[in-house]
Amino acid sequence: MTKYHIEKVSLTFYFIGALFFVVIGTLIVVGFIGPAEDAAEFDRVGGAVLGWITIIFFGSIMLFALGHLLRSNAEPVICMDASGFYDRRVCSKAIPWSEIRGVRIFKGKTLYTIPQRFVSLDVIDPESYLKKSIIHSIPGHRLFRNLYDEPGITISTAILDCSPQSLVMRIKRESNGAVEVST
């Protein structure tokens, strides 16, 4: 059985980055950064709201990263064995190798300066394996998913302890060649 975990070094960078923005948000809320003393009331209130939004958003990222960093025996994110593939972030249940037609790496269309690489699983019926939650019912989530133009299940390796290439090769090896690797 092959298992992949969240990489603690990546989470440390997320934690430090989020901490930086929480400090900036706090400085905005207390008035150290932001509109001048003689600014309109609207500008001061808008600055405080922006500061609180920054604190809440990046504070939640900080708590997520800290929670994963403090867990010593974190469960694996991706598990593969002779029976199938399971990613606990996106899958509701394990996908048998017979249901996966192919796998490929693609470059995601992101707003970042460095395009992120994803692994796409071409699954016969992806909707039956995708995790259903409140987030997945939001119309914007489907729009975000459609940005990739991928018919199957999209797997991100951004904070995992593996590269997209090693994940694809491990899928091919664990499936005993049943899953076709596309380029």
Task: Kindly state whether residues 58 and 86 are assigned to the same domain.
Answer: no
Structural domain ending residue among the three candidates 70, 92, 124: 70
Residue 23: what pLDDT?
Answer: 95
Residue 152: what pLDDT?
Answer: 76
Structural domain ending residue among the three candidates 22, 45, 70: 70
Most trustworthy range by pLDDT among 46-60, 96-110, 155-169: 46-60
Tell me how far apart the alpha carbons of residues 168 and 121 are, in angstroms, rounded to a whole number.
Answer: 10
Task: Kindly state whether residues 114 and 172 are assigned to the same domain.
Answer: yes
How many domains, the chain?
A: 2
Task: Kindly state whether residues 57 and 96 are assigned to the same domain.
Answer: no
Residue 139: what pLDDT?
Answer: 54
Residue 25: what pLDDT?
Answer: 93
Q: For 113-165, what is each residue's pLDDT tens digit?
A: 566 778 888 888 888 877 765 555 555 555 555 555 556 788 888 888 888 88
Upper half-sphere CA count for residue 100 (Cβ side, 13 Å): 30
Tell me how far apart the alpha carbons of residues 172 and 180 are, in angstroms, rounded to a whole number.
Answer: 7
- Domain hosting 176: range is 78-181
